[in-house]
Structure 1
C-alpha cells in the first residue's frame, strides 16, 4: 500500500477482477512478457529475429498454433514484429490475454524464463486483485495462496492415479471458455477414492475403511477422522453430490473450487501420513 492509499487519499482496488481486466492488469502482464521474454533482443547486435533462436522458435509456434496463420507472414525484422505483436495484444479480450499467457508458458523453449514469468505474473495478478493465479502453466480462478499450495502439492502426488484425478479436476475447473464443474467435482472425489484403494490395495475399499486402518498405524485425531468420514459420506451418498447436487444448473465455480481444494488438502494430508 502506497502513501496515498495509507492516507486515504486514494482508495486501493478491492473488487476482484474475474470476468474483466482493467488497463493496469493488462499493462502489467504485457510488461512481464516484454521484460522476461524479449529482454535478449539487442538492436545494436541484430534486429533479425532468426538470430534469436528461442524467440524465433516461439513466434513460429505462435503463428502456427495460436494465430493459425501462414508462418510466412511472420515479420523477421524484430522491430516490426514487436509492433505487430503489441498491436495484436491490444485487441485481445480479457480471457484471450490469459490464453496468451498460457501459450507462452506451454511453448516458450526456456523453462527458467517460464518459471520467472509465472512468479512475476502471479505477483501482478495479486497486486491488481485478479481472481486468477497461474498453477502448473494454467490460469485458474483459485484465489488464495493456501488454495494454490494445496492444489499444487496434490498435482505432484507420488501416486499416479491420484495425481491424474486431481489434474483432470483442475483442468475441468480452470477451463475459462467451457468449465465443467460437474465432472470436476467427480474427479476431485475420485482422487480420494483412488487413494483409499491404493492404501489398502483393495479395489472395493472405502475411505472409511482406509481411515480405520490408518488410525491403527498412526495418530489421527478422532474429531478430524469423523469430519473426514462425514465429508466423504456426503459425497458418496446416492442422494448427495453424485446425483442431486450434480445437476448442472445447481453448480457454480465455488462448488467445484471447494471440492478441488478440500480433496487436494485431504490427499496431501493422508499421503504424508502413509
Structure 2
C-alpha cells in the first residue's frame, strides 16, 4: 500500500495550505509519538523500516536519534511516520489515533486519521466542484454565499452548520433556476430531475461527522453545478 507521501505526491495545487506543518503542531505530534518509543520492537522497526538505518553500525540512543530526525522531516514525512506507527503498533492504538485527531483539530491541520491512514479533509479534485460554484454569475450570489459558509464551517469543524449551508445552497439554486419558492423538500418534488436524485435528498440520514459534512459539501456543490448547467438559460 502506498505511503501518505506517495499517494499525495506533495500536492500543492489546492488553495488550502495542506503542505505546511507548524512548529507547534510538530511538537505536539512528537509528544504523542515519544511515549510509544518505549516499545523496543516498534523503535527498532522505525529505525530499520522507516529510516533505513544500518542497525549493526548504529550506536546512538534510539529515541534521541528518532527525535533529531523527526525535527528534520518534511510535512509529508511526518504524516508518513504516523501512518507507519498506526500500521505497526497495536497497543493503545485507538487512544493514539484519537489523540492525534484531537491535535489536528486544535491546530487546524487539514488532515484526519481514518482507519490506519491520514487523509485530507478535502482533496484538490473535490475543490474543483466547489470552485466552480464560486465562479457562477452574480445572480447566484445566495448560492455562492452558502457554499462559502459551508466550506468555512467545515474547515472550522462546525459540521452541522456546514451541512445546513450546503443544503441551503441547493434550495437557493432551485429557487433561482426554476422560479419557485419553498423549502428544499418541497422544491425537490417540483423540479424536473431524476427520481433517484429526489430520493437522495428527501431521505437523507446524516451523522454530524467530518466525513458527512465533506460528502454533503462536495455533493451539494456538484448538484448546484448540475442544475445550472442543465437547466439554466441566460
TM-score range, shorter chain: 0.3 to 0.5
Using structure 2 for the length normalisation, give the TM-score.
Answer: 0.47
Using structure 1 for the length normalisation, give the TM-score.
Answer: 0.41
